[in-house]
Amino acid sequence: MLFWGGKNYRIGEYLQFRVPNFKSNQAVDRIVEESKTPIIYVMSEEEKATFLAIDSSVLAYPELQDLRYYPLEYANVKGHPLILLFEHLSTMTDTSELIRILHYGDSQIEGDRITSAIRSYLQRSFGGFGMGAVPLFGPVTMSSYVVEKSMNWNRSFITDQLPSNSFGALMGYLQGATNHAATVRLRVSPYVLYPEASYFSNINILTLNTQNLENIEVLDRSKIIRNFQNQRVGDYFSLTNFPFDTTQRNVEIIFKNPRMSQLFGISLDSRYGIAVDNLPIRGSSGYIFTRQKASLLQESFQLLNTKLVLFQFGVNAVPNNPNIKVNAKALENALVRELTFLKNLMPDVALIVIGVSDRAFKDGETFRTNPNVPLVRDAQRSAAIRTGCVFWDLYEAMGGENSVVNWVNQKPALAGKDYTHFSARGAQRVGEMFYKSLMIEYLNYLKQQKEYALKQKLQELNELR
C-alpha cells in the first residue's frame, strides 16, 4: 500500500494519521542520518592484549624471583620523576648512545660493591659492558680492576683536609709531579664478580681542555698505540675517546709530559649501552657536592652523558653511641641543600636517594638496631620527596628493625660482624634488590604508557567513524 505525502488517511473507525510532505531528498537524508545509531569501535580482548604487551625480560633472571621487593617512593606530582631515564632505557636497542649512571656512596659501596650487581643486570638487559670509571683518587682502589700508578703522580681527592673545589663529577684528579713520563696500568682483577666488567672496547679520558693529546699514549694488550677518535670539549674539561678494534682486558696509558697534565678520570666502557661508575667516598654523609664549583661539576656531568645519579649515604650519620640522638631536622635540611644543588645543576638527570642500611649495637648480650637508623632514614626520605627526587628505603628492603642481625646470622653471612657493613654476598643482594625495584617501576611506567596509547588509538578510530 502506498501513501502520498501531505494527505490525511483513516484506517478503520478510530485510527487516523497524516503523512508528512517531503519536499526534497535533502530532508529525507537529514532524517535518515539523524536516526542512525553511532558505531563504536571495540577491540577484542586478544587485540588489546597484543597492543598492551611489554617486554618483561628485564626481570627474567631466576635469582631475582624470590628476592624481597620494596617499591620506589616519590611525590605524587604530574609526570614521573624518572620519565627521561625510562625513555632512554626504552630506546637503548635502537641507538648507538652510551649513557652513564654515577653511583655515589660511603664505604658501603667501596670496592665496586653493590654497584657491580646493578651494572651487570642493567648491561645484560639494555646493552653495554665495561666497569666504567676506574678508582684512581680515593683511599681504596680495590675493584673489578687492578690499578697500578707510577710514583710520580700527586693525588687530590674530595675528602682531603684542604680539598680543591675543581674536581668534577669523579671527585678527584692526578697531577704529574715530575718531568718523567707518568703511567696508569689497568688489568682485570681475579676477583671480578661479573663478566660484563672484565673487558672493554672504549676508553674515555677526562682531562683539562688544554691537554695536548700528543702527550697521551694508550697501549693495548699488544703494545700498539691507539689513536683518539673524538673529543668532547667544554669550557674547562675535555673527554677524549680511544676506541679499540677488539675487546680488551688490560691497558697502559702514558702521559709523556705529566707536569702539563691533570687527569680527572679514566673510564673503561663499550661504544654504546650503559656505563655505571662506582664512586665511594669513605666517611662521608653526602655533604660534598656543594663544595664544588657548580659550573665545573655541571660540565663534567654533561660531558659524561649522565642520565642517573644514585645517592647512597647514611651510615656515617648514625652516631656510634645509641644514646646520642641525631638531629634529624638538621640532617634533612643539609640533604635538601645538597639535593637541590644537584637538581639545579642537572634538571634532566634522574636522582635516586638510596636510604641508610640497618646498623646495630650491642645491648647486653644481644644486638639490636641503633635507634637513630629510622630517624636518619626518615630525614633522607623527607629530603628526597621535598626536592623531587626518588627514594628507595634500603632499611625496609633489608627487613626493617634488627634486619642486619639476621643478615649477619645468615649462612653464608650477608653482613659483617661490625653489624654495619655488608659482606660481598650481602652487597650483591642489595644490588639485586635495587635493580628489581627499579625495573618493576620501569615496567609499570611502560604499562601506563601503553594503556594511554591504547586509549588514544581507540579515540582516533572512533573519530574517523
Quote the pLDDT of residue 30.
58
Give the contacts of 25 (CB within 8 A, at least 6 positions apart). Answer: none
- What is the secondary structure of 81-120 as a DSSP string? TTHHHHHHHHTGGG---EEEEEEEESGGGGGGTTHHHHHH
Q: Could you tell me the pLDDT band of residue 164, with boundaries at 50, 70 and 90?
A: confident
Residue range 4-33: mean pLDDT, rounded: 56
Q: Sign of torsion, CA 130 133 135 136? A: positive
Quote the pLDDT of residue 78.
79
> Residue 303: in which H helix or E strand, if any?
helix 294-303
What is d(CA 367, CA 361) in angstroms, rounded to the nearest whole number?
Answer: 5
Q: Is 6 left (phi over 0), alpha (psi -120 to 50) or beta?
A: left
Quote the pLDDT of residue 260.
82
In total, the chain counts a number of residues equal to 465
Q: Could you tell me the pLDDT band of residue 93, with boundaries at 50, 70 and 90?
A: confident
Give the contacts of 359 (CB within 8 A, at least 6 positions apart). Answer: 315, 318, 369, 370, 373, 404, 419, 420
> Residue 395: in which H helix or E strand, if any?
helix 394-398
Give the contacts of 293 (CB within 8 A, at least 6 positions apart). Answer: 165, 166
Residue range 273-279: mean pLDDT, rounded: 97
Q: Is 381 left (phi over 0), alpha (psi -120 to 50) or beta?
A: alpha
Q: Are 41 and 458 in contact (CB under 8 A)?
A: yes
Residue range 259-279: mean pLDDT, rounded: 94
pLDDT at position 41 over 80 = no
Q: What is the pLDDT of residues 165-178, one digit of tens each?
A: 889 999 999 998 88
Residue range 55-63: mean pLDDT, rounded: 94
Q: Could you tell me the pLDDT band of residue 396, with boundaries at 50, 70 and 90?
A: very high
Q: What is the pLDDT of residues 69-88, one digit of tens each?
A: 999 999 987 789 999 999 99
What integer best gives the mean pLDDT of the chain?
A: 89
What is d(CA 22, CA 30) in angstroms, rounded to the nearest whole number?
Answer: 11
Quote the pLDDT of residue 42.
72
Q: Could you tell me the pLDDT band of residue 141, with boundaries at 50, 70 and 90?
A: low
Residue from 236, 374, 225 nearest 302 by CA: 236
pLDDT at position 10 over 80 = no
Q: Could you tell me the pLDDT band of residue 345, with boundaries at 50, 70 and 90?
A: very high
Range name among 3-17, 146-160, 287-301, 415-429 with the lowest pLDDT average:
3-17
Quote the pLDDT of residue 296.
94
Helix (H, G, I), strand (E, B) or coil at 405: helix
Residue range 154-172: mean pLDDT, rounded: 86
Q: Which three cell numbers stand for residue 243?
A: 676506541
CA atoms lying within 13 Å on the CB side of residue 337? 12
Q: Higher-confidence residue: 465 or 244? A: 244
Quote the pLDDT of residue 12.
52
What is d(CA 76, CA 82) in angstroms, rounded to the nearest whole number?
Answer: 13
pLDDT at position 227 over 90 = no
Quote the pLDDT of residue 283.
93
What is d(CA 129, CA 311) in angstroms, rounded to the nearest whole number?
Answer: 22
Quote the pLDDT of residue 462.
73
Residue range 143-160: mean pLDDT, rounded: 90
Domains of the chain plus CATH, in order, are 62-128+273-465 (3.40.50.1110), 133-271 (2.60.120)
What is d(CA 289, CA 14) in angstroms, rounded to the nearest whole number?
Answer: 96
Q: Higher-confidence residue: 209 or 325? A: 325
Q: Are 416 and 359 in contact (CB under 8 A)?
A: no
Beta bridge partners of 422: 415
Residue range 348-352: mean pLDDT, rounded: 97
Q: Output the pTM of the full model.
A: 0.89
Quote the pLDDT of residue 3.
54
φ, ψ of residue 237 in degrees (nearest 5): -105, 165
What is d(CA 85, CA 119) in angstroms, rounded to the nearest whole number?
Answer: 15
Quote the pLDDT of residue 363.
94
Helix (H, G, I), strand (E, B) or coil at 360: strand
